[in-house]
């Protein structure tokens, strides 16, 4: 058996190749959604269309803040020794983000913006649904990290932390783009 | 260069861990093989029903007609006809070709040919198969529900595929099924790409890999990038159908908003055109290798072939617009897409010339894998050349949606890939199951298939040029098409002929795999030097006892200075100078 170089480094290399490919795949999916957005936007006679006027402003801003905070705690989680508190903070913020999304959907429905009300509501709902679905997936991965941190620290390697982190930050960036496109610009 | 440590695991013992939830890439490959063959049979049967309807409109299908369509007295009803051509396309592309070429050969060949003990992520590999299985179950279930399966064409363009065009759950199940299949493909792709990058044996540089691996690797890259694009389209269409969003609804179909059906076409073809190459690249790779193996000559222009395949992979991502010339695209765009599409003919011509260069003055052995490979050269030549007609905007405006298109893409995506797949099955059968398939049956299978499929697809091009449109239930209600009835019947006869020829293959395959007291094939029955032929047949579960060290390329044949008594070199042997 031929092995050159430290095993950790090699393991890291293999996993970061795989994670990069994975993120490209996920990225392409979101990019396709954004392509749809741009086609709709540039073909629209006026922007923002009438129905976008009363979109909630505060809730998505809060979501963005929460997402950014959780990314920050995750960065600390990757670097600092004190894992348990930081993990709790990250996971809690992630759940809070999901909660805020639920509030957002409720607020939209209450102000009379339903899924079937045209292009912009369609996009707001569909994009946030798809993103929230991925957040659920990511939270499961974070839970798995939590299991390692609390129960099985010997199995917790840097590679696992960094890779889940990459996915988490990636979803943060995607959310930020969605926030800009749907609620700000 | 550093190498990952790969442990030898104990062989699984129980039936469950050995054959069902196996982590072994070779077992997963075989699972994909049976999966593909089952669906190939279903999809093939559908094509027979389609051809029967076109040849004998209004006449009950013999034998199975009354069982399948009791309400119409055994005649294929029009709505079922739409379902048949939709699912024939879907099944053949996603559930037959993809599992056969990528699922089976990808899994089987990649670790063996690059000198690895398994895929880099065996669990992911297993999950990939079971996602494909779930996807197959959903699709099969959609055939059995009230209103039947999807019937909006394999492209599922809205408005045909929205709730207005397609009431009932069939289309939604189609969407879910393909989404699951997309997850499976993406998982496979991540695995293949990472395996090739990280697990190549010492000495196995990229330009020492067999071209099969090049094809499969490039395919995996396209899969990882473009399958998610389809995923996004499928999701949005599902939302439109289930939750009432209005992405693809326009005009009277939408209660409010201004959705755009064309948007789906964009998303579909951004994926769909690379998909064509996803299907054909593995077949090209296999053929490029086999031509050299059986001409007993080094592959002519090996590096250029690999680079041409890469160039095609890159170009394939920027030509999708040629599927949409008739959607009122700006002429500037159609011209750009036309130019880019025609550019593909340059790398294609390079590797095609390399194929011919490889067999030129070779001492060709006409074994069955070679016959099928030469068949690919022939049918792909025809398919590729007719692609030039369709790439040209002005001609395409006339030929769009005619049988000429059907003939063209069957030549490239169906005939080439099918023959390439058969070549692969015949070639790797001794390594997979330790047994050689019957050669004479294989040769009969080749010639009958070849005659049949050329009758079908050449005929389709002729009727297409004559103006017959695809997807028509009974084209002959139009008087101007009456003259095409005889040739149309000829296509159907050819189809039945080619269909019947597959019985030879099925018989041969089952006999080889399951017969008792079948003679064992040796380690290296074909006399080929790539890594998998140095180990036992069938390959042991750990593949290589010691990870091999690669010292030369995969096609070292006919070197006059070889003193070993063989006309080929194993990749683990030091290259003998000419």
Question: Would you say domain A7-184 falls under CATH 1.20.120.80?
Answer: yes
Cα–Cα distance measured from residue B190 to residue B99, given in angstroms and rounded to the nearest whole number: 16
- Give pLDDT, residue B251: 65
**Using CB atoms, which residue from A3, A18, A24 is nearest to B194?**
A18
| Mean pLDDT value of segment B478-482 | 93
**Count of CA atoms in the C-beta half-sphere (13 A) of B131:** 20
pLDDT tens readout for residues B76-124: 999 899 999 999 999 999 999 999 999 999 999 999 999 999 999 999 9
| Mean pLDDT value of segment B189-202 | 94
Q: Which residues of B are less than 8 Å from A32 in CB distance?
A: 228-229, 231-233, 267, 270
| Residues in A 3-32 with any Cβ partner in B closer than 8 A | 3-5, 7, 9-11, 13-14, 17-18, 21-22, 24-32
Tell whether B120 lies on the interface with A, counting CB pairs under 8 A.
yes
Residue B252 pLDDT grade (very low, low, confident, very high; cuts 50, 70, 90): low
Q: Which residues of A are less than 8 Å from B547 in CB distance?
A: 1-2
Residue A25 pLDDT grade (very low, low, confident, very high; cuts 50, 70, 90): very high
pLDDT tens readout for residues A35-68: 988 888 887 777 777 666 678 888 999 999 999 9
CB B517 within 8 A of CB B447: no
Query: Is the pLDDT at A5 greater than 60, yes or no?
Result: no
> Is the Cβ pair A29, B231 closer than 8 Å?
yes
Query: Is the pLDDT at B1 greater than 50, yes or no?
Result: no
Query: Is the pLDDT at B38 greater than 90, yes or no?
Result: yes
| Mean pLDDT value of segment B146-153 | 88
> Is the Cβ pair A10, B226 closer than 8 Å?
no
Residue B363 pLDDT grade (very low, low, confident, very high; cuts 50, 70, 90): very high
- Give pLDDT, residue B229: 96
Residue A3 pLDDT grade (very low, low, confident, very high; cuts 50, 70, 90): very low
CB B512 within 8 A of CB B429: yes
| Residues in B 415-434 with any Cβ partner in A closer than 8 A | none
- Sign, CA dihedral B130-B134-B136-B137, equals positive
Tell whether B328 lies on the interface with A, counting CB pairs under 8 A.
no
Higher pLDDT, B456 or B578: B456
Tokens 């053949």, located at residue: B92
pLDDT tens readout for residues B370-390: 999 999 999 999 999 999 999
pLDDT tens readout for residues B409-449: 999 999 999 999 999 999 999 999 999 999 999 999 999 99
The pLDDT mean for chain A works out to 87
Query: Is the pLDDT at B146 greater than 90, yes or no?
Result: no
Over pLDDT 70: what percentage of chain B? Answer: 98
pLDDT tens readout for residues B421-431: 999 999 999 99
Query: Is the pLDDT at B226 greater than 80, yes or no?
Result: yes
∠ CA B252-B256-B261 to the nearest 5 degrees? 60
Q: Which residues of B are less than 8 Å from A29 in CB distance?
A: 228-229, 231-232
| Mean pLDDT value of segment B140-144 | 93
CA nearest to A38, candidates B230, B263, B265: B263
Which domains are present in chain B?
27-534 (1.20.210.10)
- Give pLDDT, residue B83: 94
Higher pLDDT, B398 or A39: B398
Would you state the torsion angle of the CA atoms of residues B106, B536, B505, B409, taken in this order, to the nearest 10 degrees?
20
Cα–Cα distance measured from residue B535 to residue B512, given in angstroms and rounded to the nearest whole number: 20
The pLDDT mean for chain B works out to 92
| Mean pLDDT value of segment A74-87 | 84
| Mean pLDDT value of segment B457-470 | 94
Cis peptide bond N-terminal to B159, omega within 30: yes
| Residue A17 CB neighbours (<10 A) | 18
**Range in A26-35, A155-164, B197-206 the model is least confident about:** A155-164
pTM summary value: 0.93
> Is the Cβ pair B4, A11 closer than 8 Å?
yes
Query: Is the pLDDT at B348 greater than 90, yes or no?
Result: yes
- Give pLDDT, residue A6: 62
Nearest CA-CA distance, residue A165 and chain B, Å: 18
> Is the Cβ pair B260, A11 closer than 8 Å?
no
Tell whether A119 lies on the interface with B, counting CB pairs under 8 A.
yes
pLDDT tens readout for residues A111-163: 888 888 778 888 899 999 999 999 999 999 999 999 998 888 888 888 888 89
Which residues 6+ apart lie within 8 Å of B306 measured at CB? Answer: B206, B207, B211, B214
């Amino acid at each position: 058996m031929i092995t050159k170089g430290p095993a950790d480094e090699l393991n890291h290399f293999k996993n970061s190749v795989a994670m990069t490919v994975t993120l490209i795949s996920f990225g392409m999916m979101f990019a396709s959604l954004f392509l749809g957005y741009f086609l709709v936007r540039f073909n629209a006679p006026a922007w923002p269309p009438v129905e976008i006027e009363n979109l909630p402003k505060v809730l998505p801003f809060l979501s963005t803040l929460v997402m950014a905070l959780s990314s920050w705690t995750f960065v600390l989680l990757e670097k600092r020794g004190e894992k348990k508190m930081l993990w709790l903070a990250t996971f809690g913020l992630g759940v809070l983000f999901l909660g805020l999304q639920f509030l957002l959907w409720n607020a939209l429905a209450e102000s009379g913006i339903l899924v079937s009300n045209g292009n912009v509501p369609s996009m707001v709902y569909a994009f946030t649904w798809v993103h929230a679905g991925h957040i659920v997936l990511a939270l499961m991965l974070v839970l798995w990290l939590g299991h390692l941190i609390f129960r099985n620290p010997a199995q917790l390697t840097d590679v696992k932390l960094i890779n889940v982190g990459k996915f988490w930050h990636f979803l943060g960036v995607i959310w930020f783009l969605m926030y800009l496109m749907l609620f700000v610009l | 260069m550093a190498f990952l440590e790969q442990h030898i695991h104990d062989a699984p013992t129980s039936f469950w861990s050995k054959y069902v939830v196996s982590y072994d890439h070779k077992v997963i490959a075989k699972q994909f093989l049976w999966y593909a063959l089952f669906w190939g049979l279903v999809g093939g049967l559908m094509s027979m029903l389609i051809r029967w309807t076109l040849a004998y409109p209004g006449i009950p299908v013999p034998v199975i007609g009354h069982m399948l369509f009791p309400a119409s007295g055994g005649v294929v009803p029009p709505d079922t006809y739409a379902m048949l051509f939709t699912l024939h396309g879907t099944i053949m592309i996603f559930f037959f070709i993809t599992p056969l070429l990528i699922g089976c050969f990808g899994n089987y060949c990649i670790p063996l040919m690059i000198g690895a003990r398994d895929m880099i992520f065996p669990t992911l590999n297993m999950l990939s198969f079971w996602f494909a299985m779930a996807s197959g179950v959903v699709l099969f279930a959609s055939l059995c529900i009230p209103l039947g399966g999807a019937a909006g064409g394999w492209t599922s363009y809205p408005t045909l595929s929205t709730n207005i065009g397609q009431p009932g759950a069939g289309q939604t199940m189609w969407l879910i099924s393909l989404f699951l299949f997309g997850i499976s493909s993406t998982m496979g792709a991540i695995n293949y790409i990472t395996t090739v990058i990280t697990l190549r044996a010492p000495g196995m540089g990229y330009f020492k890999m067999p071209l099969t691996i090049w094809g499969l690797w490039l395919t995996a890259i396209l899969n990882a990038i473009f399958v998610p694009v389809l995923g996004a389209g499928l999701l949005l269409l599902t939302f439109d159908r289930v939750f009432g969003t209005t992405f693809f609804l326009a005009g009277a179909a939408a209660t409010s908003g201004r959705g755009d059906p064309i948007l789906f076409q964009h998303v579909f073809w951004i994926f769909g055109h690379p998909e064509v190459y996803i299907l054909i690249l593995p077949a090209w790779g296999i053929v490029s290798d086999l031509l050299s193996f059986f001409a007993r000559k080094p592959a002519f222009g090996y590096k250029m072939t690999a680079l041409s395949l890469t160039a095609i992979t890159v170009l394939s991502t920027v030509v999708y617009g040629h599927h949409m010339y008739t959607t009122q695209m700006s002429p500037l765009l159609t011209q750009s897409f036309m130019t880019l599409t025609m550019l593909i003919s340059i790398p294609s011509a390079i590797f095609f010339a390399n194929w011919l260069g490889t067999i030129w003055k070779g001492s060709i052995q006409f074994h069955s894998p070679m016959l099928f490979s030469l068949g690919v050269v022939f049918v792909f030549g025809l398919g590729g050349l007719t692609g030039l007609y369709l790439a040209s905007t002005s001609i395409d405006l006339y030929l769009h949606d005619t049988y000429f298109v059907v003939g063209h893409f069957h030549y490239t995506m169906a005939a080439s890939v099918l023959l390439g797949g058969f070549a692969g099955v015949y070639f790797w059968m001794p390594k997979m199951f330790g047994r050689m398939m019957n050669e004479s049956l294989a040769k009969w299978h080749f010639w009958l298939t070849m005659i049949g499929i050329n009758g079908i697809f050449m005929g389709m091009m002729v009727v297409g040029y004559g103006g017959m449109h695809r997807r028509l239930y009974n084209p002959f209600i139009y008087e101007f098409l009456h003259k095409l009835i005889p040739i149309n019947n000829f296509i159907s006869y050819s189809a039945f002929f080619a269909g019947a020829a597959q019985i030879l293959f099925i018989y041969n395959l089952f006999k080889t795999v399951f017969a008792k007291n079948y003679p064992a094939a040796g380690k290296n029955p074909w006399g080929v030097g790539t890594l998998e032929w140095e180990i036992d047949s069938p390959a042991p579960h750990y593949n290589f006892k010691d990870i091999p060290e690669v010292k030369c390329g995969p096609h070292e044949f006919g070197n006059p200075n070889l003193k070993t008594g063989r006309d080929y070199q194993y990749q683990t042997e030091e290259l003998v100078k000419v």
